[in-house]
């Protein structure tokens, strides 16, 4: 989490760069300078040449605002030199500034380090990249919770390639993304940043993002390691409760593939404490598991100001403004395996000098931390290509291009989920007159957090997209109400608009802000440190939907949100319900593509929708016995009360299940089988696989895409297991009448349990393979056995 402020217009302006003459190179023939030498030899050689101060410098993050006035563009050479006196390993550049300022000052920083320091070690140039490169007028993609709904890692990787290409154009070589946290605590404000509630899907999406970034030479920093999205009460940075088995089965599973197979070159630890141990100083997680079990060889960085929390929040170190406090923080964090300290705090790592001098910190610990970061720099090719930016004249041909916007639109529309479609209300005829209503329909772009300052003023709104699709003469717009208000004085205009049209599209939901606005305290209902006690619509929005539905005109409700909304009455009180998680800047076009049938919706929910916040958790992979005998009651709209037991007046079973999503066509699954019926025990522990095979037919009259989802049930296990787990999926496109034979490979070694002795084992016995179109829409099963 880093915060910045806005400046100036966004036009490119040429600014000459002036640098002091480079000194002669005393290490010209050093091994670390040789690109043909092995990475390990280069790391060892460079660390052996470094002074303690140079090592400390690699372990703290600098900030471009120390030499750039981000309001005026003025360059401060003294500020640059002071910044790099002790903060040389990386520097942050996530500010809303002119493109030319970014180009010039990234190069100033990098060139100073490479050409004017003794060893010439380039820095990681860092910023956010959650769903777009964090710079004004870079391409904005939809939020990650939407990425998961696409069930299309290949397309997500394509988006990541665009993000990385735009970042690299300015010399940025590291992005604080992706997030592999899990959307399992829905009150938590950062649900929108998560890929899914499910660890398998989250891992697949994160791995795709990492590959897309790093194939472009931009290092990914996977975050927040680990468990950060399950805080007590849903409150940001609150402690996370759980044991070792849950940690390994659920939370760590979402990170392992992106780290081990995806090759993430950096990891960001979290703000929280898991089971009483701050994750920034958790030796068991950061060293025993991450390094010793998984073999991770790159570096871990703290989040902004997170190191101070050992003193401020967790009270396990003396106050941070004392020498004892700073030394306690530094020792605990470094020895645990958190290698680099991000800015935003007290820069406690300055105390390394005293700690090593007094024998309280082994210099080998420091050397190991430095080596991990240098290893990432060598591996990504930073020493050979420290200046990755393109010439000023080429930026417009790289950033925010028509091709980039097309990718954003494609991913956005594949992420939209059709939840209800009564009497085939959708798609809408392009000859219809459409009323577009609601506070999220126009006037601002309803983006998720981590977009550049004031981005909400640019992009394609739902109203814009619908006008572009059918012409302005066929569209009427009324806001109806403000998103933050109970004032319903705008209802008459909205009702009149609906009555004048053939069909109404009502866009309501949650809203976030860019980071500057969030930390200024402007109202929001999702985002970092914006946590909620209710998942219902805020203010007059609920009443607005009802008022429009009561006109009798066909009413399509669009949830524009960063998390599930719990207004289950809407399902059967309106004509259609569509979920669009926070959109890309092409969001209005993507929505119109779906509403008018230019694109057949194919999104599937990456997160379950509960009936109410009181019925959470709603994730599909609850442990066996978790929802063993639901006996729900209900409070009906007319006031009738029907009493049950669990819950007395509600239902623990989700409103909409994980993996659910409708289409304008229909699909049939048949001939479900496995390629074999047994897997040997030894093979199952290592590289054994089994393949689920199914014929899928498009039985409707429209071309469409279906997601074949494979769920595994361990029929008998030594410890209580999740009732089912997603372990494979494939998205296929089918023309009307077309049948495809789909094969989905399942890694049997991924089906193990952390047993009574906390040892991982794929146990002997039977496993059920369920083939479906959601976690509950199962079209057939087959059994195999580990023998």
Query: Within a domain: residue 404?
Result: no
**Can you name the residues that pair with 778 across neighbouring β-strands?**
772
Q: How many C-beta neighbours within 10 Å does residue 260 have?
A: 15
- β-pair type (219-225, 678-679): unpaired
Give the residue ranges of DSSP H helices in 539-658.
Answer: 541-549, 587-595
Please check whether residues 109 and 174 belong to one and the same domain.
yes
Q: What is the DSSP string of 40-103?
A: HHHHHHHHHH--HHHHHHHTBEEEGGGTB-TTT--B-HHHHHHHHHH--SEEE------HHHHH
β 219-225/174-176 pair status: parallel
Q: How far apart are CA 450 and CA 119, in angstroms?
A: 35
The domain spanning residue 760 has which CATH number? 2.60.40.10
Q: Return the ∠ at Cα 30 (arms to 27 and 32), rounded to 5°.
A: 115
Dihedral sign, CA of 770, 774, 778, 779?
negative
CATH of the domain at 484: 3.40.50.1700
Let me know: does 463 contact 577? Beta carbons within 8 Å: no
pTM, entire model: 0.96
pLDDT at 6: 38
* Same domain, residue pair 213 and 86: yes
Domain ranges, residue 379: 39-395
- Judgement on whether residues 185 and 219 belong to the same structural domain of the protein: yes
Residues 6+ apart with CB under 8 A from 453: 4, 5, 6, 96, 136, 514, 515, 516, 517
* pLDDT score at 347: 97
Burial of 509 (0-12, 13-18, 19+ CB in 10 A): buried
C-alpha count within 13 angstroms, C-beta hemisphere, residue 456: 21
* DSSP bridge pairs for 61: 90
Look at residue 20 and tell me if it is in a domain.
no
Query: CA nearest 374: which of 627, 119, 731?
Result: 119
Is residue 221 in some structural domain?
yes
SS3 state at 499:
helix
In a domain, residue 409? The reply is: no
* b/e per residue 414-438 (b: at least 16 CB within 10 A): bbbbbbbbeeebbbbeeeeebbbbb
Q: Is residue 32 part of a domain?
A: no
Dihedral sign of CA atoms 761, 766, 772, 775 in order:
negative
Does any domain span residue 660?
no
Q: Are residues 422 and 343 in the same domain?
A: no
Whether 464 and 391 map to the same domain: the answer is: no
In a domain, 659, yes or no: no
Domain count, the chain: 3
Q: Based on the domain organization, do 357 and 294 belong to the same domain?
A: yes
* Mean pLDDT per 10-residue interval, the chain, length 787 residues: 44 35 69 98 98 98 98 98 97 97 98 97 98 97 98 98 98 98 98 98 98 98 98 98 98 98 98 98 98 98 98 97 97 98 97 98 98 98 95 94 98 98 98 98 97 96 98 98 98 98 98 92 96 98 98 98 98 98 98 98 98 97 90 92 95 97 98 98 97 98 98 98 98 98 98 97 98 98 98
The H or E element that residue 174 is part of is strand 174-176
pLDDT for 5 equals: 41
Specify the 3-state DSSP secondary structure of 135: coil
> Is the CB of residue 721 less than 8 Å from the CB of residue 622?
no
Name 273's bridge partners: 278
CA 563 → CA 368, 602, 709, distances in Å?
Answer: 40, 19, 22
Q: Is position 248 within any domain?
A: yes
Point out the domain boundary residue: 615, 636, 658.
Answer: 615
Residue spans of alpha helices (H) in 566-624: 587-595
Co-location of 599 and 457 in the same domain: yes
C-alpha count within 13 angstroms, C-beta hemisphere, residue 231? 25
Residues 606 and 675 in one domain: no
Cα angle 708-709-710, degrees, rounded to a multiple of 5: 125
Three state DSSP letters for 209-239? HHHHHHCCCCEEEEEEECCCCCCHHHCCCCC
Tokens of 46: 């460079």
**Alpha helices, H only, 307-461:** 309-312, 323-336, 352-357, 363-380, 402-415
488 with 605, same domain? yes
The reply to whether 114 and 238 lie within a common domain is yes
Q: Would you call 604 helix, strand, or coil by DSSP?
A: coil
Where residue 223 sits, what CATH number does that domain have? 3.20.20.300
What does the block give as tokens for 736? 């009307």
Parallel/antiparallel/unpaired status of strands 434-437 and 503-509: parallel
Quick one: 699 and 590 in the same domain?
no
69 and 197 fall within a common domain: yes
Q: Is 238 helix (H, G, I), strand (E, B) or coil?
A: coil
Nearest partner of 786 among 667, 677, 668, 655, judged by Cα = 677
CA-based radius of gyration for the chain: 27
């Amino acid at each position: 989490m880093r915060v910045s402020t806005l400046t100036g217009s966004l036009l490119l302006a040429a600014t000459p760069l002036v640098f002091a003459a480079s000194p002669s190179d005393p290490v010209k023939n050093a091994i670390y300078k040789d690109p043909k030498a092995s990475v390990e030899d280069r790391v060892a050689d460079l660390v052996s040449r470094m002074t303690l101060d140079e090592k400390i410098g690699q372990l703290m993050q600098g900030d471009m605002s120390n030499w750039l006035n981000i309001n005026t563009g003025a360059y401060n050479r003294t500020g640059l030199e002071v910044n790099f006196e002790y903060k040389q390993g990386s520097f942050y550049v996530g500010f809303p500034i002119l493109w030319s300022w970014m180009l010039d000052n990234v190069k100033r920083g990098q060139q100073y380090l490479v050409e004017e320091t003794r060893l010439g070690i380039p820095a990681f140039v860092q910023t956010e990249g959650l769903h777009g490169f964090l710079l004004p007028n870079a391409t904005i993609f939809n939020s990650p919770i939407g990425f998961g709904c696409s069930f299309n890692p290949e397309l997500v990787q394509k988006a990541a390639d665009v993000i990385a290409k735009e970042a690299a154009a300015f010399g940025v070589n590291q992005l604080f993304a992706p997030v592999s946290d899990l959307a399992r605590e829905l009150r938590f404000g950062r649900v929108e940043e998560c890929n899914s509630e499910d660890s398998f899907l989250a891992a697949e999406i994160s791995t795709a993002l990492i590959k897309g970034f790093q194939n472009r030479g931009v290092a990914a920093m996977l975050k927040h390691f680990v468990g950060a999205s399950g805080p007590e009460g849903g409150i940001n940075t609150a402690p996370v409760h759980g044991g070792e088995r849950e940690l390994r089965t659920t939370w760590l599973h979402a990170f392992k593939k992106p780290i081990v197979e995806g090759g993430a070159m950096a990891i960001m630890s979290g703000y929280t404490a898991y089971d009483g141990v701050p994750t920034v100083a958790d030796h068991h997680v950061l060293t025993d598991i991450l390094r010793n079990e998984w073999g991770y060889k790159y570096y871990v960085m703290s989040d902004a100001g997170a190191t101070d929390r050992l003193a401020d929040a967790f009270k396990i170190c003396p106050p941070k403004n004392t020498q004892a406090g700073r030394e306690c923080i530094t020792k605990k964090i470094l020895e645990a395996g958190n290698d680099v300290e991000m800015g935003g705090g007290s820069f406690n790592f300055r105390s390394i000098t005293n700690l090593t001098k007094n024998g309280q910190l082994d210099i080998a610990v420091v050397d190991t931390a430095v080596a991990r970061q240098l290893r990432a720099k060598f591996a990504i090719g930073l020493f050979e290509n420290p200046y990755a930016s393109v010439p000023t004249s080429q930026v417009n041909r790289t950033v925010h291009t028509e091709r980039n916007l097309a990718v954003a639109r494609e991913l956005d529309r594949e992420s939209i989920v059709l939840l209800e479609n009564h009497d085939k209300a959708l798609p809408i005829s392009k000859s219809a007159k459409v009323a577009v209503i609601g506070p999220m329909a126009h006037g601002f772009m309803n983006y998720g957090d981590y977009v550049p300052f004031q981005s909400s003023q640019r992009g394609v709104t739902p109203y814009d997209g619908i006008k572009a699709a059918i012409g302005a003469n066929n569209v009427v717009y009324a806001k109806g109400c403000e998103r933050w208000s109970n004032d319903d004085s705008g209802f008459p205009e909205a009702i009149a608009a609906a009555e004048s049209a053939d069909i109404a599209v009502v866009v309501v939901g949650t809203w976030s802000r860019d980071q500057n606005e969030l930390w200024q305290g402007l109202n929001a209902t999702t985002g970092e440190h914006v946590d909620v006690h209710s998942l219902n619509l805020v203010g007059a929005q609920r009443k607005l939907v009802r008022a429009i539905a009561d006109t009798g005109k066909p009413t399509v409700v669009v949830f524009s949100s960063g998390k599930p909304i719990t207004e289950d009455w809407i399902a059967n009180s309106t004509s259609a319900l569509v979920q669009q998680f926070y959109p890309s800047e092409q969001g209005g076009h993507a929505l119109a593509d779906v509403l008018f049938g230019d694109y057949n919706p194919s999104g599937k929910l990456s997160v379950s929708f509960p009936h109410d916040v009181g019925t959470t958790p709603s994730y599909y992979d609850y442990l066996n016995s978790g929802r063993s005998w639901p006996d729900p009651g209900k409070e009906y709209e007319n006031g009738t009360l029907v009493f049950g037991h669990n819950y007395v007046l509600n239902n623990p079973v989700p409103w909409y299940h994980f993996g659910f999503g409708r289409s304008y066509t229909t699909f049939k699954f048949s001939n479900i089988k496995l390629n074999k019926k047994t897997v040997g025990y030894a093979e199952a522990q290592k590289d054994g696989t089994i393949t689920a095979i199914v014929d899928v037919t498009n039985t409707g009259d429209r071309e469409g895409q279906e997601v074949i989802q494979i769920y595994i049930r361990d029929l008998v296990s030594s410890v209580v297991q999740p009732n089912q787990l997603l372990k494979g999926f494939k998205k296929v496109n089918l023309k009307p009448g077309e049948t495809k034979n789909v094969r989905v490979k399942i890694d049997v070694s991924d089906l193990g349990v952390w047993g009574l002795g906390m040892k991982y084992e794929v146990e002997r016995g039977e496993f059920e393979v369920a083939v479906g179109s959601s976690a509950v829409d199962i079209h057939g099963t087959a059994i195999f056995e580990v023998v």
